[in-house]
Amino acid sequence: MFEAEQKQVEQRILAFCREKGLPEPRLSWGWIPFDGHWGISTSLFQLAAQEIRTAGVKANVQERATELAEQIAAFLGTPEGFERVEAVRGYLNLYFSTAAYAQRVVDAVLEQGANFGRGERLHERVMVEFSQPNTHKAFHVGHLRSAILGDTLCRILEFAGYDVVR
């Protein structure tokens, strides 16, 4: 669900680089460790190193990456779908707007109804073995538990798009 926002931010970062005459960066996004807010982060060290190497000057990559992160954060402002943008020691951190994301999830659930979360058919066969009661022993609640868990797992896998062999 975050692909559109991420692509929008990438386009703005590329526009910043073109405007400043910087090399085009290869951005690699990662998740920010959860501390009450979800977000994505990218390092600007590679861009700083490319710029320094291209210019042929001696400079501190860490300092330049920090400067670039601050400049890009100021250039971006607060993009749609995000609640804040931070520049931290050469990293650009973007935190998603929880309210906006929650509303999108609720809208998707209401729109898709019973099909929400259904996976596309994967054409991949999965075999699930689960116990059936032994015909030579008394049936007890343990047999029922295993049968229910096995059947539930099969239904979840089928909903996710797998061909299930029971």
**How far is residue 143's CA from residue 80's CA, in Å, rounded to a whole number?**
53
| Long-range CB pairs of 49-52, under 8 A, 24+ apart, other chains included | 50/22, 50/23, 50/25, 51/22, 51/23
Give pLDDT tens digits for 32-89: 998 888 899 999 888 888 887 877 778 888 898 899 999 999 999 999 889 999 999 9
**pLDDT value at residue 52:** 79
pLDDT of residue 1: 63
Q: What is the pLDDT of residue 97?
A: 92
What is the three-class DSSP state of 43? strand
Statement: 3-100 belongs to CATH 3.10.20.600: no
Give domain limits for the chain: 3-100, 118-165
pTM of the predicted model, to two decimals?
0.68
